[in-house]
Amino acid sequence: MIVRNLNTDQHALLEFKHQIIDPHNILVNNWTTTTSVCNWVGVSCASKHRRVSTLNLPNMDLAGIVPPHLGNLSFLVSLDLSHNNFHGHLPRELGQLNRLELIELSFNFLSGEIPSCFGGLKKVLSLSLQNNNLTAIYNISSLHMISLSFNNLSGSLPEDICHHLPNLETLYLGSNEFSGQIPSSIDECRCLQNLTLDSNRFSGSIPRSIGNLTRLKVLYLGGNNLEGEIPSEIGNLLSLEIFAAQNMSLVGPMPASILNLSSLKEINLYNNSVSGSIPSNIDACSNLQKLSLSFNRFNGFIPKSIGNLSKLEEIYLGDNDVEGEIPSEIGNLLSLKIFSVRNMRLIGPIPASIFNLTSLKEIYLYSNNLSGSIPDNICYSLFKLEVLHISHNEFSGYLPSNIGDCGEIPWEIGNLISLEILDAPFMHLNGLIPHAIFNISSLKIIDLPNNNLSVCICVE
Is pLDDT at 303 greater than 90 in this prediction? yes
> How confident is the model over 111-153, as pLDDT tens digits?
998 888 888 888 999 999 999 888 766 668 888 999 999 998 8
SS3 43: strand
Across the chain, mean pLDDT equals: 89
Q: Do residues 122 and 140 lie in contact, with contact meaning Cβ atoms separated by under 8 Å?
A: yes
Q: Which of 345, 306, 302, 342 is nearest to 323 (CA)?
A: 345
Q: 2 falls in which pLDDT band (50, 70, 90)?
A: very low
Between 384 and 224, the more confident residue is: 224
- How many structural domains comprise the chain? 1
Please state which of the ranges 24-28, 90-94, 369-373, 444-448 shows the lowest mean pLDDT. 444-448
Largest distance between two CA atoms of the chain: 93
| Separation between Cα atoms, residue 355 and residue 384, nearest integer Å | 11
* 239 inside domain: no
> How confident is the model over 308-343, as pLDDT tens digits?
999 999 999 999 999 999 999 999 999 999 999 999
Between 384 and 5, the more confident residue is: 384
* 189 inside domain: no
The neighbour count for residue 202, using CB atoms within 10 Å, is 22
Q: Which of 155, 138, 135 is nearest to 103 (CA)?
A: 138
Is pLDDT at 290 greater than 70 in this prediction? yes
Q: Do residues 55 and 27 lie in contact, with contact meaning Cβ atoms separated by under 8 Å?
A: no
* 415 inside domain: yes
> How confident is the model over 53-94, as pLDDT tens digits?
999 999 999 999 999 999 999 999 999 999 999 999 999 999
35 Cβ partners below 8 Å, 6+ apart?
none
* 208 inside domain: no
* 373 inside domain: no
Give the helix/strand (H/E) hosting 351: none
The span from the first CA to the last CA of the chain, in angstroms, equals 83
* 63 inside domain: no
What domain range includes position 423?
406-460
**18: phi then psi, degrees, rounded to nearest 5:** -70, -25
Is pLDDT at 287 greater than 90 in this prediction? yes
Q: 460 falls in which pLDDT band (50, 70, 90)?
A: very low
| Separation between Cα atoms, residue 275 and residue 401, nearest integer Å | 42
Is pLDDT at 1 greater than 50 in this prediction? no
* Residue 406 pLDDT: 46
SS3 83: coil
* Residue 428 pLDDT: 55
**330: phi then psi, degrees, rounded to nearest 5:** -55, -30
* 433 inside domain: yes
The neighbour count for residue 427, using CB atoms within 10 Å, is 19
| Separation between Cα atoms, residue 188 and residue 43, nearest integer Å | 38
DSSP string, 207-253: -GGGGG-TT--EEE--SSEEEEEPPGGGGG-TT--EEE--SSEEEEE
Q: Do residues 97 and 122 lie in contact, with contact meaning Cβ atoms separated by under 8 Å?
A: no
* 368 inside domain: no
Instruction: Convert 374-410 to b/e letters by CB count within 10 Å (16 or more is b).
Output: bbbebbebbeebeebebeebebeeeebeebbeeeebe
| Long-range contact pairs involving 398-404 (C-beta distance under 8 Å, separation at least 24) | 398/373, 399/374, 400/374, 400/375, 400/376, 401/376, 402/376, 402/377, 402/378, 402/428, 403/374, 403/378, 403/379, 404/428, 404/429
273 Cβ partners below 8 Å, 6+ apart?
249, 250, 251, 296, 297
Burial label, 131 (beta-carbon count in 10 A; 0-12, 13-18, 19+): buried
The residue type found at 301 is F
Percent of the chain, pLDDT > 90?
71
SS3 50: coil
Give the helix/strand (H/E) hosting 64: strand 63-65
